[in-house]
Amino acid sequence: MQAPLLFDSYTHVVVASTQRLLASIVTVYDFRPLGYFDYWIEYRWARFHSTLWHVDGIVLHIAAVYLLWVLCRRLGLSLWASSIAAFFFGIHGANPETVFWTATRFDELATIFVLLALLLAWQYAGERKRYGFMLVSCLLAVLSKESAYCLPGLAACTFWYGNRWNRAAMKAIAGLTTICALVFAYRYWLLGGIGGYLDANGRPAILHFNLLRTVEILFLKIWGVLFFPINWSIAPEKWLGIALAAFIAAAILAVAQSKPTAHTIAASATFCIIAILPAAHLASLDARIIGSRVFHLATIGLALMVGALFDSFSSKWAAVAMATGFLVFQCAALVHNLLIWRDTAYLAQHACITAAELAGTQRSVVVTSLPATHDGVFFLSNGFSDCVYVNTGTRLEISSSNAKTGNEPVFYWDEHSQSIKKK
C-alpha cells in the first residue's frame, strides 16, 4: 500500500539509518536481534521511502502464505483446500497491523520461521540434516519475536492435525522445546528478568496474570477477532455488511454439510489457543481490534480449520460456496481495515508536517498531549519527533509541559479539527 509510515515505525527506521551492523544484531532492549537486523538490511535500500518498506512487508507476508500452502499440502489437504487455507490466511482481516505497520516486522519474521520449522518438523524422518535445519528455523523464530516460544506446542498440534504420532514426531517436539528453553534462559539472563513491555510502575506487563481474564480471552474473545476481524471505529460500508451476511451463510452451510474429522478441528482450535498464549496479556479485544498482531500466528490455525472444512464436504459446489463466503468476507474486512490504517497514516504525516511549519526556526518545542490511537489505529504518541524528521528533514526536540524552560512553542492535538495546534 502507498501510504506513510506510522507511530514508532518512524523510530525503527531512523534508528536503522544510524545503527551499525553489530548493534543491529546484539540488541539488549527486548532481545529481538533478527528483527533489528532486518531493519538494518531493509534501510540499506528502502531508506526513508515508506512504499518500499510496505513492499518489504508484503513480500515477507507472501513468503509466509507460500510456506503455509506447502505445509497444508504436506498435511494431506487437497490442492484446492491448501490454496483456500493459504489465501484465507493471506487476506485475513486482522493482517493490516502485522503487514502494513512496519513496527511489527518482528511478528512477520517470526511467522515465517515458525512455519518453516513446522514444515521441517513434519518432513523430518530421521535425517540429521533436516533435523538441524528445523532447529535453526526454531532459533531464528525465537530470535525474531517472543510469540514464537509457543512453537513446540504448535508442532504438537500439527502432528495431531496430520494424525502422525511417532518417534520422529516426539524427537522433533523435544528438539524444538530444547531450543526454546535455552534461548529463553539466555534471554532471561541477558535482560535480568522476563523482559517485555512494562507497566507504569516498571513491572513486566506479563506478570499481571488474571486467570479468569485469560480464560475469557483464550476460549471466548479471540474467536470474535479471528472470525470477525472488523475495526468498528468506523461504521462498516454497505459492501462489508453484504460480505458479512455471505460469511454467516457460509458458516451455516459449513455446520450443516461439512463433516470434518474431530481431530482436525480440535487440533486447529488448540493451535489457535496455543499461538495466543505468549501474548495473551497484550490482547486488546475491543471493537477497534488494536493489538491484532498477537493473533497473527493464531490465524494459521484458523486457516487449517478452513482447509479441513473444505475437504470434508460431500458436495463440491457446497464446498465452493462455503469458501467463497469465507474469502469474500475476509477480503472485505481487510479492505475496510486497510482504508482506516491508510487514512490514519496520512493524518499522522500531516500532523508532523504541520508541527514543523508551526515551529518555524524553533528547534525545541513542548507538546502537551498526543493521542496514542486514532480510529482504532496507533497514532502519534510514539515516534512523533522521528515522524517530523522523516517527513520534513527538521529535527525537533520535544518535551512535556512540565519541562518548559523558556519561550518554546506549545503544541497540542485538537480533536475537533483533527490537526496539531499551537497554543
Query: Measured between alpha carbons, how far is 168 from 341 in angstroms, rounded to an integer?
Result: 44
Q: What is the 3-state secondary structure (H, E, C) of 370-381?
A: CCCEECCEECCC
In the prediction, which pLDDT does 403 show?
Answer: 56
**Domain limits of the chain?**
9-341, 342-422
Which residues have a Cβ under 8 Å from the Cβ of 398 and sit 6 or more positions away?
365, 366, 367, 384, 385
Ranges of H-type helices in 260-405? 262-276, 298-311, 316-359, 384-392
Query: Measured between alpha carbons, how far is 78 from 334 in angstroms, rounded to an integer?
Result: 26
Pairing state of beta strands 410-414 and 419-422?
Answer: antiparallel
Q: Which of 68-77, 86-95, 159-168 shows the lowest per-residue confidence on average (mean pLDDT)?
A: 159-168
Q: What are phi and psi of 387, to 5 degrees?
A: -65, -45
In the prediction, which pLDDT does 184 show?
Answer: 93
9 and 102 in contact (C-beta within 8 Å)?
A: yes
In the prediction, which pLDDT does 253 show?
Answer: 96
Which residues have a Cβ under 8 Å from the Cβ of 143 and sit 6 or more positions away?
31, 32, 33, 34, 183
Query: Measured between alpha carbons, how far is 273 from 360 in angstroms, rounded to an integer?
Result: 52
Pairing state of beta strands 364-367 and 377-378?
Answer: unpaired
Residue 137 has pLDDT above 70, yes or no: yes
The DSSP symbol for 5 reads -
Q: For residue 231, how many C-alpha atoms fall within 13 Å in the half-sphere facing its CB? A: 27
pLDDT band at 409 (very low <50, low <70, confident <90, very high): confident
pLDDT band at 360 (very low <50, low <70, confident <90, very high): confident
Residue 238 has pLDDT above 80, yes or no: yes
In the prediction, which pLDDT does 279 show?
Answer: 78
In the prediction, which pLDDT does 408 show?
Answer: 81
Counting every residue written for the chain, the total comes to 423
Please list the residues that pair with 422 across neighbouring strands: 411
Nearest to 3 by CA among 342, 289, 329, 280: 342
Query: Measured between alpha carbons, how far is 70 from 307 in angstroms, rounded to an integer?
Result: 13
Residue 285 has pLDDT above 70, yes or no: no
Write down the pTM of the prediction.
0.93
Which grid cell is 333? 474486512
Mean pLDDT confidence for 86-90: 98
Q: For residue 293, how many C-alpha atoms fall within 13 Å in the half-sphere facing its CB? A: 23
Q: What is the pLDDT of residues 157-199, one digit of tens each?
A: 999 999 988 888 999 999 999 999 999 999 888 888 776 665 5
pLDDT band at 4 (very low <50, low <70, confident <90, very high): very high
pLDDT band at 292 (very low <50, low <70, confident <90, very high): confident
Which grid cell is 138? 526454531
Residue 368 has pLDDT above 90, yes or no: no
Which grid cell is 120? 521441517
